[in-house]
Structure 1
Amino acid sequence: MRTTRWEGTLTALSSIAHGGETRGTITLLRRELVCSSSGELVHVPIVSGNTLRGRLRRLGEELLRDAVGYEGLLHPAAAHALRGGGSLAKTSHEPLSGNRLQQLRDLVPQIGVFGAAGGGTIINGALDVGKVVPHLSETSHITGVTTTRSAFTGTQLEAYTRQDDSDGHDFAGVITPVDTGAELLFDETGRPEPVLRGGNQMLFHIETFPAGTTFSTWLRLRRPSPLEMAFFLEVLDTFHSDGRLGGRVGIGHGQVRADLTVDVHPSTDELPDWRAVLDQNRSEILTALQGLA
């Protein structure tokens, strides 16, 4: 199929965290140099394309896992390659290449779309992902959006605490042996002496994009097969219904609304039922995935 491109905006429905440099108890947003319209180089907080790609990859892996049913059947290296991209490491087997590599691409749309590192080789995927650029005055010549919000006023510091509750009356009783450097301290029954350690509340700060911040981004799927296109369209639909971006999503950060438009809508008549195709080829897919170990 022809190359298809999506572009548009992501709008933060909750503050977005994307950790970069840490200074003491303050975690700053990831920043990179941007050449402004006046030619001045300015450090601007920008969300990496790898973060958006990683979120889409994890959504795709969950769809693939439900369709194929490989829970508990894969080597850890294969599971990591599907969900996190894997890592290039030595293998005791013959590296993936030739017909085995092509068969893996053809059978597993997750690999065909996102690529992976596994089986002693790097597998390129069909998907290109753009960086997620906030609408700021320093990026207006890039995004085409004029705003008075700048890189210096467009972020906030959020505070959170961590507290050691071991001195509280409802804390579970614990026994901690004390290492004196020579021997452990024991009571008259021969058990280690209990040592109660209290703690203080620590205050931390993290820099975030506030809720309501709008970003520009793009996606490009380069000449996918019909199976890859059908699979990726469902990945995008899932992201539209449950958009997340950045870190700390478990405590409410990173919820986004995606408004992406496609240059040419693929004809649904040309696309297969990707779940049915994977179900028909389940045994071959499980065998091919072992090559990622």
Structure 2
Amino acid sequence: MTKTYRLDGYFRLKSPLSHIGESISNKSYLVQETILQDDGTTEEVFVYSGNAWRGQLRDLCASYMLDNLGGARVPMDAFHLLFSGGRIGGTQITDIGQARRIRAAIPMVAVFGGGVGNQILQGKLRVGNCYPVCREAVPVLPAAFHEQAAGIPYGRCTMEKEHSRRDDAKIDSIRRHLAAEDCLLLEGDGGKKKGKGDVADQMRIGMELVSPGVTLHTWITLEDASEVELGALVAGLHRFSANPAIGGKSAIGYGQVDLHYNLTFDGETQSFLSIQDGVSRMSQPAEVAKEAYDQHLRAMYDAMLAAEKSEITKLLGAA
């Protein structure tokens, strides 16, 4: 039996968030959208793309699946299908039987969809854009967030920061690792001005960022899905807890988040899954769904061992 699930929740930023919309000279600016206010005016507000979060979830679900299939390595077509949605080529021919076999064998493809051969498999997952819980975003936020948002002007949600890139070759403590001839060239430079074609050794870069402490509303719907397909999504969310970061510049600690989702089903809402300080906590429905998916992967792995050939490879028609 299939069901439609709705997950509603929030990211809470524990470090600055970088999500670049445009760059001018040496400064980058956040992605923003125009929101019509109740009084007829408009305001520019940051938005974290639902497509970015969906793509990150796809990668997490794909790596979880392959790791649980013995660290399986797949052909290029299968790789593109799992991690980026595949690609379409050739004359369009709809093979409903083939589509059903792929969806049944590979639940994450049923969830995310993709292009296989010459047909498109529609995914069941819908991921919304994430808006900050602030006064100017009230028209696009659920009613449950309106009271909190009313007391937070958008101007408090962003910050600007500058980073400098240093020239390590000029630091005495590590310059000893530089080739002798290059040291001599550096010493002979004498601080002269760089020519037009030379690259600057040091520069400052400015960034507009979303401030730590900001809450971003996030929602997901999974339409007409089985428990195993819900489990595939839960597995990806659970894997996210190993590195709970969104946006860019994660190498310098940006985008660290806590995450919480409530599940709404048949008119009832309950806590579903949360990630706090890198620890994942799942409700009983989430655990049951993930276990059903894990059992599916174990059966798939056993079939692979018996046939000595990947089920994914077979379904894609690869050699």
TM-score surpassing 0.5? yes
Q: Please name the residue that 2:179 is paired with.
A: 173
Q: Provide TM-score, normalisation by structure 1.
A: 0.80
CA gap of 1:251–1:70, structure 2 versus 1, over 3 A, is: same
Distance 1:77 1:90 in 2: 11
What is the CA–CA distance in structure 2 between the aligned matches of 1:274 and 1:51, rounded to whole Å?
28
Comparing 45-54 with 147-156, greater Cα deviation is found at 147-156
Q: How does 1:250-261 map to 2 (within 5 A)?
A: 250-261=251-262
Counterpart amino acid of residue 207 in structure 2: I
Match for residue 108 of structure 1 among 106, 109, 130: 106
Residue 59 (structure 1) shift? 1.1
C-alpha deviation, 1:160, in angstroms: 1.6
The answer to whether the aligner puts 1:268 opposite 2:267 as a matched pair is no
- Confirm or deny: 8 A CA contact 1:230 1:274 kept in the other structure: no
Q: Is the 8 A contact 2:9 2:218 kept in 1?
A: yes
CA offset at residue 124 of structure 1?
1.7
Q: Is 1:77 equivalent to 2:99 in the alignment?
A: no
Q: TM-score, normalised by structure 2?
A: 0.74
- Matched residue, 2:120: 122
Number of residue pairs aligned between Structure 1 and Structure 2:
270
**Aligned partners of 1:39 and 1:14: how far apart in 2?**
34
Partner Cα separation in structure 1 for residue 310 and residue 94 of structure 2:
16
Relative to structure 1, is the Cα distance of residues 244 and 266 closer, same or farther in structure 2, using a 3 angstrom cutoff? closer
- 1:160 corresponding residue in structure 2: 163
Task: State the shift of 1:121 in Å.
Answer: 3.2
1:75 is aligned with what amino acid? P
Query: More relative contact order in 1 or in 2 (CA 8 Å, sep 6+)?
Result: 1
What is the rounded CA distance, in whole Å, between the counterparts of 1:174 and 1:84 in structure 2? 46
SS at 2:39 equivalent: coil
Query: CA separation of 1:198/1:141 partners in 2, compared to 1, >3 Å: closer, same or farther?
Result: closer
Match of 2:49 in 1: 48
User: Aligned-pair distance for 1:288?
Assistant: 3.8
Q: In the alignment, what sits opposite 1:138? A: 136
User: Which residue is equivalent to 2:190?
Assistant: none
Deviation at 1:54, TM superposition (A): 1.4
Alignment of 1:214-293 (within 5 A): 214-240=215-241, 242-264=243-265, 265=285, 268=288, 271=292, 273-282=295-304, 283=309, 285-288=311-314, 290-291=316-317
Q: How far has the Cα of 1:82 moved from its partner?
A: 0.9
Note the C-alpha offset of 1:156. Answer: 0.9
Distance in 2, Cα, partners of 1:22 & 1:199: 19
> Aligned-pair distance for 1:284?
5.5
1:290 and 1:172 mapped to 2: Cα distance?
51
Give distance in 2, aligned partners of 1:135 and 1:7. 14
The root-mean-square deviation of aligned C-alpha atoms, in Å, is 3.0
Deviations 1:120-174 (A, max 9, x none): 3332211111111101110123322334433333211122223444566346439
The answer to whether the 8 Å contact 1:17/1:208 transfers is yes
Change in CA separation of 1:68 and 1:160 when aligned onto 2, cut-off 3 Å? same
Moved more, 5-14 or 118-127: 118-127
CA separation of 1:160 and 1:117: change in aligned 2, threshold 3 A = farther
Give the residue type in structure 1 aligned to 2:89: K
Q: Take 1:56 and 1:100, find their aligned partners in 2: how far apart are those partners?
A: 25
Structure 2 residue aligned with 1:99: 97
- Cα deviation for residue 203 of structure 1 reads 0.5
Structure 1 segments unaligned to the other structure (5+ residues): 177-196
Cα pair 1:68 1:279 within 8 Å, conserved: yes
TM-superposed CA distance for 1:58, in Å, is 1.4
Residue 201 of structure 1, CA deviation: 0.7
Do 1:135 and 1:215's aligned partners in 2 also have CA atoms closer than 8 Å? yes
Q: Which residue of 1 aligns with 2:194?
A: none
Alpha-carbon deviation of 1:10? 1.0
- Using the TM superposition, give the Cα deviation of residue 256 of structure 1 relative to its aligned residue in structure 2, in angstroms: 1.0
Q: Do 1:118 and 1:292's aligned partners in 2 also have CA atoms closer than 8 Å?
A: no
Residue 236 of structure 1: CA displacement? 2.4
The DSSP-based 3-state class of the residue aligned with 1:238 is helix
CA distance in 2, matches of 1:160, 1:266: 41
CA shift, 1:207, in A, is 1.3
Asked if the contact 2:16–2:209 (Cα under 8 Å) also holds between the matched residues in 1, the reply is: yes
How far apart are residue 247 of structure 1 and its match?
1.5
Deviates more, 1:6-15 or 1:221-230: 221-230
CA distance in 1, matches of 2:251, 2:314: 34
